[in-house]
Amino acid sequence: MTRPSEDDLVTGDFVRSYVITGGRRLPSPTDLSLHTLVTLAPDREPPRRASPEVRAIWDICAGGYLSVAEVAAHLGLPTAVARLLLTDLAEQGHLLRRAAPPPAQAVDRGTLEEVLHGLHALFG
Amino acid sequence: MTSLLRDPLLWILLVVLGAAVAAVTRARRTNMALRVQEDALRRELGAEKAGRALLREETAALEQRHREALAEVRQEAEEETKAVLKAAMRTLQVLADEQQLIIDRTQKNYGDDPGVVADLMEIDHANSQFNRRAQGIAVLCGGWLGRREHPASVFDVARSAQGRIRHFDRVEINAQVNVTVVSRAVEPLAVVLAELLANATNYSAPEMPVVVGIQAVPNGVCLIVDDYGVGMSQEEKDRAAALLSPQGPVDLLALGNPPKFGFAVSGVLAARYGFRVSVDTPSPYGGVRAVVLLPGDLLTADADADAPAGRAGAGAPAAGARIRDLAPAAPAVVPTAATRAVGTTAGGLPKRRRVAAERTPARTPRPDSGGPELPERHDHPAGDDSETTASRLGAFARGTARGRDTTISEGSEEQ
């Protein structure tokens, strides 16, 4: 066992996540999925008594679209918690969001093979 | 004459005289004997009295020694009990810390599922309260709390304290100022504040809020905890005042059963770290007002205060992307290791630092194309490896980001 002393480091997040959410219900992921892209609406001022997390979101999102997953990772918060904060901001009209870009369309295998053959013919 | 001799009366007189003389003589003799006896007895009594006084002295001395021995034994027993308790609590503290790390990690791993995160929050909440109890007992037994690696803002300390009590959702924090607490005082202050908040929420009506005010005072910062309860009697206030300014080690047995640790823990920590806790001011709401006065030497000008430094402990590498690094740097940043490491996240990904907009106000934060910012400036000398890597990775990230952002002008995605 470690010897107790003042110098032992206490790790773990200092401010617990349920304090950040204020014990509120977490929103379901259907609205803001991991891939949903969000950014700040133009010409917005942060709420006057914004928490440090909200101010951090403000800084992170100011520069363009970021996915919800990225925002959560930058904040070092569980996605569900970041999602709650983002939902708040979206409800206050501070946030623009759009669905994730659709996955690339599956291209016909025959076409791809033709392209490959064409390339082989050109460059050996 | 003969007639006189024959007179019986004379003879009777003579006989009576003889008897009287004999009686007097006997009485005298008896008297003498009695006197002697009395003297002897008196002497004896004196001796006995002296003996008794001596015995009394001896008894007193013995009693004194007995009391001293008892006190010594009791103190030794208490010290030994405290040492044992301290070690036991240490184990519990370490376990609670470990559990907290596991909860942090699990919350991040399963962070997308609100149900799982909510359940983990409940476990976390219980664990935090558990840890506070263990910390309280450890402190009363002379144990240490451990030290936080980074300074934290008073606001975060208050929020951390809030998370350690059962009714955390009744606490409101009004921060008029936001200053930073030096790292060694962060944990003790949070524990003291948590104890005061626990008292405030436990001794006021369940639907009433408890308000924490953070105010600057000439020689430091005041944290004021007000509740809407019924307040304390003078006797309770005196007891609290005595516990809050302890003159020696705390007597564990005097804390009642079930024990009331709050003020005792606060007093011990305040004395150890040099801040002050008092409950003698009346609250404007009628309840108890507890005031923690943090002197200036427990505060620091470190710019870490601007960010919620509380997130992402050293033991949680997944959370290495610290918000601190993303937050706007205050004008007078001391270039600490933490602020220099802005370049990448723990995963090696670039961070989009929005600091540049503030440092170069002439530039609009969002160029006309609506795209992301131009490459940010690095305030640190070139050749710094992490900075170079960061700028390369950053360029890549900006490229991809710009690619995504070209559609912004379409505006169809607005909700």
Regarding whether B274 and B364 lie in a shared domain, the answer is no
Sequence-ordered list of residues with C-beta below 8 angstroms from that of B207, at least 6 positions apart, any chain: none
Radius of gyration of chain A measured on its C-alpha atoms: 22
A96-105, B55-64, B102-111, B315-324 — most confident range: B55-64
Q: For residues B283-290, give the mean pLDDT.
A: 87
Q: Does B314 touch chain A (CB under 8 A)?
A: yes
pLDDT score recorded for residue B385: 63
User: Cα–Cα distance between B239 and B230 in angstroms, integer?
Assistant: 17
B272 touches chain A (CB under 8 A): no
- A85 interfaces chain B, CB cutoff of 8 Å: no
Asked whether the predicted pLDDT for residue B316 surpasses 60, the reply is no
Same domain, B361 and B263: no
Q: Is B345 on the interface with A (CB under 8 A)?
A: yes
Q: Is the pLDDT of residue B409 over 80?
A: no
Higher-confidence residue: B306 or A52?
A52
The answer to whether B274 and B298 are in contact (CB under 8 A) is yes
B149 and B290 both lie in a single domain = yes
Closest chain A residue by Cα to residue B404: A65
pLDDT of residue A1: 41
**Could you tell me if B314 and B294 are in contact, meaning their C-beta atoms sit under 8 angstroms apart?**
no
In single-letter form, the type of residue at position B63 comes to E
Mutate which: A6, A10, A96, vs B, most B CBs within 10 A: A10
Of B23-32, B161-170, B379-388, minimum mean pLDDT range: B379-388
Q: Give pTM, 2 decimals.
A: 0.67
Q: Does B364 touch chain A (CB under 8 A)?
A: no
The beta strands (E) that lie in B12-148 are given as 147-148
The domain spanning residue B214 has which CATH number? 3.30.565.10
* Domain shared by B296 and B329, yes or no: no
B334 and B288 in a common domain: no
Phi-psi region of A47 (alpha: psi -120 to 50; beta: other; left: phi over 0): beta
Hey, is the C-beta of A13 within 8 angstroms of any chain B C-beta? yes
Q: Does a structural domain hold residue B275?
A: yes
Q: Does B328 touch chain A (CB under 8 A)?
A: yes
Which of A1, A7, A13, A32 to mutate: most B Cβ within 10 Å? Answer: A13
Give the SS3 label for residue B300. strand
The predicted structure's pLDDT at residue B53: 95
Please, where are the H alpha helices in B114-153?
Answer: 114-140
Q: Is A31 on the interface with B (CB under 8 A)?
A: no
Cα B3 versus chain centre, distance: 122
Cβ-defined contact of A72 to B111 (cutoff 8 Å): yes
Residue A64 has pLDDT above 70, yes or no: yes
Name the 3-class secondary structure at A58. helix
B316/A13 Cβ within 8 A: yes
The residue of B94, B101, B112 whose CB has the most chain A CBs within 10 angstroms, and thus the best one to mutate to test that interface, is B112
Q: Looking at the structure, do residues B290 and B368 belong to the same domain, yes or no?
A: no
Query: What order do you get walking across the sheet with A37-40 strand by strand?
Result: A66-67, A37-40, A95-98
Assign residue B287 a region: left if phi > 0, alpha if psi is -120 to 50, beta otherwise? beta
> Measured between CA atoms, how close is A25 to chain B, in angstroms?
8
Gap from A69 CA to chain B (nearest CA, Å):
9
Average pLDDT over residues A62-90: 90
Beta bridge partners of A9: B147
Beta carbons of B203 and B227 less than 8 angstroms apart: yes
Task: Indicate the residue of A6, A13, A18 with minimum beta-carbon distance to B311.
Answer: A13
Q: Cβ(B287)–Cβ(B226) under 8 Å?
A: yes
Write down the pLDDT at residue B408. Answer: 43
Residue A88 sits at the chain B interface (C-beta within 8 Å): no
Rounded alpha-carbon distances, angstroms, from residue B168 to B46, B137, B189, B197: 76, 21, 17, 9
Same domain membership, residue B351 and residue B227: no
DSSP label at residue A98? E
Cβ-Cβ contacts under 8 Å, B373 against chain A:
63
In B, which residues are within 8 Å of A97 by CB distance?
413, 415
> B133 Cβ partners below 8 Å, 6+ apart?
B261
pLDDT at A98: 83
Write down the pLDDT at residue B317: 32
Q: How far is CA B19 from CA B29, B107, B207, in A?
A: 15, 124, 110
- Average pLDDT over chain B, rounded to whole? 78
Q: How confident is the model at residue B1 (pLDDT cuts 50, 70, 90)?
A: low
* Residue B124 contacts A where some CB pair is shorter than 8 Å: yes
CB B297 within 8 A of CB B274: yes
User: Tens digit of pLDDT for each residue in A24-61?
Assistant: 999 988 888 888 888 888 888 888 888 899 999 988 88
Comparing A26-30, B109-113, B209-213, B399-403, the range with the smallest average pLDDT is B399-403
In which element (H, E) is residue B383 found?
Answer: none
Terminal CA-to-CA distance of chain A, rounded, Å? Answer: 68
Same domain, B362 and B235: no
| Mutation site for A-interface testing, chosen from B85, B104, B306 by largest number of A Cβ within 10 Å | B104
Please, which residues bridge with residue B220 across strands? B217, B295
pLDDT at B155: 93
List B380's β-bridge partners, or say none: none
Q: Is B119 on the interface with A (CB under 8 A)?
A: no
Q: Is B134 left (phi over 0), alpha (psi -120 to 50) or beta?
A: alpha
What residues make up the domain containing B242? 145-300
- Structure-block tokens of residue B216: 């600057």
The residue written with tokens 């669905």 in the block is: A99
**pLDDT class of B250 with cuts at 50, 70, 90:** confident
Given a cut of 50, whether residue B371 has pLDDT beyond it is: no
Query: pLDDT tens for residues B139-149?
Result: 999 888 878 88
Instruction: Check pLDDT > 90 for residue B360.
Output: no
Inform me whether the pLDDT recorded for B37 exceeds 70: yes
Q: What is the mean pLDDT of residues B340-363?
A: 43
d(CA B69, CA A111): 99
Residue B12: inside a domain = no
Note whether B274 and B364 are same-domain residues. Answer: no
In a domain, B96, yes or no: no
In a domain, B120, yes or no: no
pLDDT for B162-211, tens place per residue? 999 999 999 999 988 889 999 889 999 999 999 999 999 998 888 889 99
User: Are the beta carbons of A39 and A89 closer than 8 angstroms?
Assistant: no
Pairing of strands A37-40, A95-98: antiparallel
**Least-confidence region, from A91-105, A107-121, B91-105:** A91-105
Which structural domains are found in chain A, ordered by start? 30-101 (1.10.10.10)
Q: Is A9 helix (H, G, I), strand (E, B) or coil?
A: strand
pLDDT greater at residue B209 or residue B362: B209
CA distance A22 to B163: 10
What is the pLDDT confidence band of residue B370, given thresholds at 50, 70 and 90? very low
Q: How far is residue A83's CA from residue A77's CA, in Å, rounded to a whole number?
A: 10
Q: What is the separation of C-alpha B4 from the centre of its chain, rounded to a whole number of angstroms?
A: 119
Q: What residues of chain A lie within 8 A of the CB of B110, using their CB?
A: 78
Greater pLDDT, B355 or A14: A14
Interface test with B, best of A18, A60, A70 (most B CBs within 10 A): A18
CB atoms within 10 A of CB B99: 18
Judge: B311–A77 Cβ closer than 8 Å, yes or no: yes
- CB proximity B307 to A under 8 Å: yes
- CB of B163 within 8 Å of a chain A CB? The answer is yes
Distance between CA atoms of B117 and B80, rounded to whole angstroms?
Answer: 42
Distance CA B415, CA A67 (A): 16
Residue B29 lies in a domain: no
B143 touches chain A (CB under 8 A): yes
Q: Are residues B252 and B188 in the same domain?
A: yes
Percent of chain A with pLDDT over 90: 33
How many domains does the structure of chain B reveal? 2
Give the span between the Cα atoms of A122 and B8, in whole angstroms. 190
Tokens of B341: 């490491």
Alpha helices in A1-108 (DSSP H): 17-21, 52-61, 68-75, 79-91
Tally Cβ neighbours within 10 Å of residue B198.
23
Q: Are residues B293 and B341 in the same domain?
A: no
Does B240 share its domain with B340? no
Residue type, B125: H
